[in-house]
Structure 1
Amino acid sequence: MMTTHKKRSVRGLAAIAIASVFALSACGATDSGSSSGEASEDPFKILYIAGLSGGAVNTDVTQAFEASVELINEKGGLLGREVEVEFADSQNDATKAVTVLQEYLQSNPKPDLVIPGVGTGEALALLPVLTREKILAISTASSPLLDDPEEYPYFFSVSARQDALFTAASEFLEDKGDVKKIALVVTDNALRQAAEPQFTEKMTAAGFETTVIPFDPANVNVAPAFTKAKEWGADWIYFESFGESTAHGFAGREKAGAEDIPMLGGSGVAVSDFLDFATDAQRENFFPILYPVAATTAEEDRDAGFNAFYDALSPVEELPLKLGSYSFFWDMPQVWAAGVRQADSVETEAVTDALTNLEVQDSDAMWVTWQKLYGPDTHFPIISSDEFTIAEVAGMEDRMYVIKE
């Protein structure tokens, strides 16, 4: 039997015990994707499937998710009812994630929302089941393969699609002038599958010559990949990775003697804790593509959503990462809640329609990352290049990056 973890409050996190929450009957499920029924007083249920053990543990970012849900409940919940989260461990394995979901659905009513992992691999594996069961899903995955409203009508992401980052990167490099050759150094997995076509398309359209250099994410020595980029004559390197392979990439770049080639950091690299694991020499000529919230934001420019996010997370000393790493996980419940309020329902079809036509009052707009969300043809945020910051980083202040002058 699968065990899930139920957590209620980020403030009382240390005192929360791990508990099995399986119900012994599967009554109450409906074809709509909502388990609850509008007349019920039971809490609305979110099932969060992610790696809570194993290699890259995601328990730190789940605290931001819990804090966001806690704020929703403090403001009266949704439609007069509280929201409850159950965490299920996929061990960062896409096959395991599918098993976890199937076992959950066999023993429980359908949840009102599922978080299908934090990366592309798990999302792609889980979405066929979630689509068939008509269950709404929101994720941080960034692959354009997921942005298919016809195939995955109930899936939404709070992350930037890879093509949005490459558009911003190509415009940045065009402004630099005298840049001709760009090498993509990327892990040879689902990340490459998502990044390579968009990188090639956007950079070629901007007039750059490109090459793609994949490397095994399990390989500690990444120097050969950067050596290839150097020997090819790259003017800039675009480095894309996630997890432990990111630190290996910085070390490999130094070992290959490629620090003199300026390097852009893609989505996975930019959200990593590179100030801690990379030395000053390894960060030489490094330009991360920073999401909103990652760079310092003046107090006068902070809206109500940012202040709620900041007030909830900045005092939590045990959170090891910068605030920008938590913003997507804060946003997922807030975006769903906005759709539920507009739809006046948790029914999957109704919330889906609301999210693609979202009209949110300022007091309800408690997500912090992007200015504009979805439309009928895209279930990813609609992003302009100027929402990214591409610059060298001097340090950290208030858990946000200080940009080098």
Structure 2
Amino acid sequence: MTRLETAPYPPGIRANQALALVAGMSDASSSHGGCHAMWKRVGLFLTVTALAATAACATPEDDDAASSSPDQPYRIVQLLGMNQTGPAALNAKAAAQAAKAAVAVLNERGGILGRKVELEIIETNGDPTTAVTKLTERLSKGRKPALVLPGNTSAEALPMAPILTEAKILSVQQAGSSALNNPQKFPYLFQVVPTNDSMAAQVVTFIKARKATKVAMLAGKDAFAQATAEATRKAIKAAGLTLAGDETYTAEDLDMTAQLERLRATNPDILFMQGAGASVGYILQSRLKLGWTDIPVVADSVATVTSLMSRAAPDGVVGAPAAQNVYVQVLAAAIVGAPEVNPGALDTMIKALKAQGEINMPLNTFFVYDAIMVAAAAAEKAGTIDDVVKLAKTLEGFTGAEKGNWALSRYAYSATSHAVALDPNSTAIIPATLLKEGRYSPQS
């Protein structure tokens, strides 16, 4: 059996893996635990197992044969939580905008292997259980999609990964969890966002360029935040720098004064801030209240997506005292004047995005555009949309030198890693600056 083949699992076992991921996330986010968490896991177990059995009963006409006909379109299914609340909804809407833009560009250029590209968006409300339910329902009826974009966050994508693997469907996605980069477990899943290690390496480069040696860190307690923090800790240690202070906060914390006071007592040269949403504003306001603006603050790429970090007052902090000495980590391609990975592709992308609506988020929230373009290039090179093993092997042969319609980065994969093998220079750290149509001025 080759590495890309799927072993004959009993019905539902992949869904049980999905359940374990959902249940684990449920435990991590629950503040009650005990019987409540236990019964929640039991309920999820019954739900996902039943759905897997339903999906396994799909009729032959609904499966691979239906999409292999040359007159059938290239079908993309995207699952998103656009109706949820908070910053995640804005990110989901940006992902939908990106997918529509990519489909429009491909169809204008003749589709994929001469097939029209069709996009189907399924609302999940940002809930992992709902996402699993709706994905399983979709796979149990209708024609099998050639590509699935499973959610806009790792929380959604993780529980859907085993289901997509069992169904042998290609997935190129912008969820960044390192747990998804497991070719042996998820052979048909590929990622397009810079890895945590790549971004941490750029942070260290910035620190060393400023002749700093002591770093303090403030990060959220959730799993995603701590994955970012851990990659940064490792990079700091590997570079021979000192992590002088390491503090955390929760989404419920409205004042970070205590954490910042403890960090300031370690006398660091630079503060690394990981954050998202309103927490970013609370951190910066607490820092201003303490008068601790004399050392640089480097905000991670997630904090950068927060609108506060790219808008002027009163909607943001750019140019305000709270943003004094604050730097942001951004996608290098999103800086005006940066070298293009595929000449002309970025202009095409921006034009297509604008045709779908206003561009009011940083370009790194539109990575789905590149995900679709990468999948399209794999299909054209492999000469198939149905042979998922051949598609996966084709993607594993990408070296980063390929030309295509993607605009935000270069993409290189291997048989042992389906995360993007990127140079740290794929991201850059610049002073907090205004955002215009998804892009930043070179310096501020």
By how many angstroms is 1:140 displaced?
Answer: 1.2
Question: Residue 63 of structure 1 is aligned with which of 87, 90, 97?
Answer: 97
Q: CA deviation at 1:361?
A: 9.0
Distance (Å, rounded) in 2 between the aligned partners of 1:264 and 1:381: 23
1:147 to 2:187 alignment = no
**Shift of the alpha carbon at 1:244?**
3.8
Deviation at 1:72, TM superposition (A): 0.7
After superposition, residues 31-46 of structure 1 pair within 5 angstroms as 34=64, 36-46=66-76
Corresponding position: 1:209 with 2:242: yes
The residue aligned with 1:335 is: 374
- Distance in 1 of aligned mates of 2:147 and 2:323: 39
**For the structure 1 residues 335 and 229, does the alpha-carbon distance in structure 2 shift closer, same or farther, using more than 3 Å as the test?**
same
> Structure 2: how far apart are the matches of 1:398 and 1:93?
29
Distance in 2 separating the partners of 1:299 and 1:149: 31
For residues 326 and 354 of structure 2, what CA distance do their matches in structure 1 show?
27
Q: Give the structure with the larger helix fraction.
A: 2
Amino acid at match of 1:275: S
Q: Tell me, what secondary structure is at the counterpart of 2:161?
A: helix
Q: CA deviation at 1:76?
A: 0.9
Shift of 1:75: 0.8
- Kindly state the Cα deviation for residue 70 of structure 1 after the two structures are TM-superposed: 0.9
* Rounded Cα–Cα distance in structure 2 between residues aligned with 1:87 and 1:377: 31
Matches within 5 A, 1:77-156: 77-156=111-190
Q: Let me know the Cα RMSD of the aligned residues.
A: 2.7
Q: TM-score, normalised by structure 1?
A: 0.84
For 1:356-399, what per-residue CA distance to the aligned partner results, in whole angstroms no more than 9, with x for missing partners?
Answer: 1137997x511111134222222122211223221214434554
Distance 1:88 1:244, change over 3 A: farther
Structure-1 residue corresponding to 2:82: 52
Matched, 1:264 2:295: no
* Equivalent-residue separation in structure 2 for 1:294 and 1:35 (angstroms): 41
Alignment of 1:185 with 2:218, yes or no, is: yes
Structure 1 residue identity aligned to 2:172 = I
Question: What corresponds to 1:400 in structure 2?
Answer: 439
* Cα contact 1:395–1:403 (8 A) shared by 2: no
One-letter amino acid matched to 2:384 = S
What is the distance in 2 between the residues matched to 1:334 and 1:248?
Answer: 38
Between the two proteins, the alignment pairs up a number of residues equal to 376
Larger Rg: 2
Could you give the per-residue CA deviations for residues 117-171 of structure 1, whole angstroms, max 9, x where no partner exists?
1222222222122222222112212222222211221111110110101111112
Identity among equivalent positions (%) equals 24
Letter in 1 for 2:83: S
Aligned match of 1:297 in 337, 354, 367? 337
Instruction: Indicate which of 267, 273, 295 corresponds to 1:233.
Output: 267
Identify unmatched segments of 5+ residues in structure 2.
1-57
Superposition map of 1:191-202 within 5 A: 191-202=224-235
Aligned partners of 1:79 and 1:101: how far apart in 2? 26
Q: 1:192 to 1:151 in 2, by over 3 A?
A: same
Q: Which of 416, 433, 436 is equivalent to 1:377?
A: 416
> What residue in structure 1 maps to residue 54 of structure 2?
none
Give 3-state SS (helix, strand or coil) of 1:225's partner: helix
2-side partners of 1:345 and 1:71: how far apart?
A: 20
How has the CA–CA distance of structure 1 residues 208 and 359 changed in structure 2, closer, same or farther, with 3 Å as cutoff? closer
Q: Distance in 1 between matches of 2:333 and 2:74?
A: 29
1:315 deviation in Å?
6.1
| Match 1:311 to one of 351, 372, 383 | 351
Closer, same or farther in 2 for the Cα pair 1:44/1:398, shift >3 Å?
Answer: closer
TM superposition score normalised by structure 2: 0.77
SS at the partner of 1:185?
strand
Q: Which ranges of structure 1 fall in alignment gaps of 5 or more residues? A: 1-24
1:274-326 deviations in Å (ceiling 9; x for gaps): 1222252121111112113221126999712122113223466633224x244
In the superposition, relative to structure 1, how do residues 394 and 320 fare at CA in structure 2: closer, same or farther (>3 Å)?
A: closer
Judged with a 3 Å threshold, the aligned counterparts in structure 2 of structure 1 residues 131 and 357 are, in CA distance, closer, same or farther, namely same
What CA distance in whole angstroms lies between the structure 1 residues aligned with 2:174 and 2:287? Answer: 28
How far apart, CA to CA, are the structure 1 residues paired with 2:399 and 2:340?
A: 25
Equivalent residue number for residue 353 of structure 1: 393
Q: Residue 287 and residue 251 in structure 1: after superposition, are their counterparts in 2 closer, same or farther (change >3 A)?
A: same
In structure 1, distance between residues paired with 2:285 and 2:133: 36
SS, match of residue 78 in structure 2: strand
Q: Distance in 2 between matches of 1:35 and 1:242?
A: 44
Partner-residue secondary structure (3-state), 1:76: coil
Aligned to 1:28: 61
Q: Answer whether contact 2:216 2:271 (CA < 8 A) is retained.
A: yes
Q: 2:428 maps to which residue?
A: 389
